[in-house]
Amino acid sequence: MSDSGADKAPQVQPPEVQLPNVHVRAEVLVQALPHMQRYDEEVVVIKYGGHAMGDRAAAEDFAEDIVLLEQSGLKPVVVHGGGPQIGRMLDRLGIKSEFREGLRVTDEATVEVVEMVLAGSINKQIVGWISAEGGKAIGLCGKDGNMVRARRAARTVMDPDSLIERQLDLGLVGEPEHVDRTVLDAVLKAELIPVLAPVAVGSDNQTYNVNADTFAGAIAGAMRAKRLLLLTDVPGVLDKNKKLIPELSIEDCRRLIADGTITAGMIPKIETCIYALEQGVEAVVILDGKVPHAVLLELFTDYGAGTLIRRS
C-alpha cells in the first residue's frame, strides 16, 4: 500500500525568531558618543536615596548605570542616604525619635544607629550591587581619611506668633565644614568607584549625621564635578501647576523660593544646588530616581530626565 499524504506527519514550522534591531542599537550608541566624549575623565557626583533604594530592580538598574559610566571614561562618585532604613532600625531597637519642626533630632543613641546603618549595611549593600554588575566599588564615609569635617548644623525657625527667629537644636545633625579630597583622588586614580555614607566627624571628635544632599553638594564642590545629580522621589522642580521645569538658573531658583513655587523639602535641595554651583560645579540636575536608568538618560541622551540648574 502506497503512502498517502494523510499518513505523513504534518510539517512543523519553526517559530519565527525575533532578532533585535541591531541598527537601532547602533544608532543609540552613536547618539551617545558625543555625550560620552563631553564627560570623559570628568567627575560626576550622584546622590542616591529615596524609596528607589528599597526597590531591588531599581537598585540593579542604578548599579548598571554606575558601572557603565565608569567603563565609559567618567569618574562617578556615589553618595547615598538611608532615612527610611534608619527609621526602621530605630523602631526595631526601641529607640524613640523626637522631631522638631519636622526634623529628626539626633542624640547619642540615634547617631550610633545612623552610623551603623549608613556606613555599614546600606553602604556595603550598594557596593555589592555595583560589584555584581562588574564594577569595582569601595565603601567609605566622611570619617575615612578625614575626608569631611563637620560642625553642628545651625537651623532657625520663625515663631508664627512673634515672627521672631529662634535657634533649633537638632542635636548631632551636622553640616560639612571642610572637604579633603586626598582620599577620593587616590580612589579615583585607582579606577575604583567610591560609595560614600554621609557620616562625618567634627573638631570636637563627635560623630555627626549629615544630610545626604548637603554631603553630596560639598563633595561635588570640592571635586569641581562636571555634574551633580540628586536622585529623588519626584520628577524634578515643579511649577505651580505641578509641571516639570526643565531648566533653571540660580536667579530663577531664588525667585521661585521667594514666590512660594519651591517649598518644603525642595528648598534645602535647591540650596545645595546653589552652593555646589557657586563652588565650581558646572551644573546640577534634580531627577526622579525611580525612572529606569535615569542617570544614563540624563547624561547620555539629548532629552534629560529632570530639572537642570546652571549658574546663569
CA separation for the pair 109, 115 (Å, rounded): 10
Let me know: does 209 contact 174? Beta carbons within 8 Å: yes
pTM given for the model: 0.86
The mean per-residue pLDDT over the stretch 176-198 comes to 97
E strand residue ranges, 35-98: 43-48, 75-80
Let me know: does 176 contact 189? Beta carbons within 8 Å: no
Q: Tens digit of pLDDT for each residue in 69-122? A: 999 999 999 999 988 888 889 999 999 877 776 567 888 999 999 999 999 999
Q: Tell me the residue type at 209.
A: N
| Residue ranges per structural domain of the chain | 40-310
Average pLDDT, the chain: 87
Closest CA relative to residue 239, chosen from 258, 264, 256, 255? 256
Confidence bin at 207 (pLDDT 50/70/90): very high
Q: Given its phi and psi angles, is residue 171 left (phi above 0), alpha (psi -120 to 50 degrees) or beta?
A: left
CA separation for the pair 226, 223 (Å, rounded): 9
Closest CA relative to residue 272, chosen from 291, 285, 290? 285
Q: Tens digit of pLDDT for each residue in 222-249? A: 999 999 999 988 889 999 999 999 999 9
Residue 123's φ and ψ, nearest 5 degrees, are -55, -45
Closest CA relative to residue 77, chosen from 222, 188, 214? 188
Q: What angle do CA 245, 298, 215 make, to 5 degrees?
A: 85
Output the CA–CA distances (angstroms, integers) from residue 21 to 24, 56, 293, in the order listed: 5, 28, 20
Q: Tens digit of pLDDT for each residue in 162-174? A: 666 767 778 899 9
Please, which residues have CB within 8 angstroms of residue 289's CB and are 6 or more apart in sequence? 48, 49, 50, 52, 58, 62, 231, 232, 233
CA separation for the pair 130, 123 (Å, rounded): 11
Q: Tens digit of pLDDT for each residue in 7-35? A: 545 555 555 555 557 766 677 777 777 77
DSSP-derived 3-state class of residue 256: helix
CATH superfamily of 40-310: Acetylglutamate kinase-like (3.40.1160.10)
Question: Of all residues in the chain, what percent carry a pLDDT higher than 90?
Answer: 60
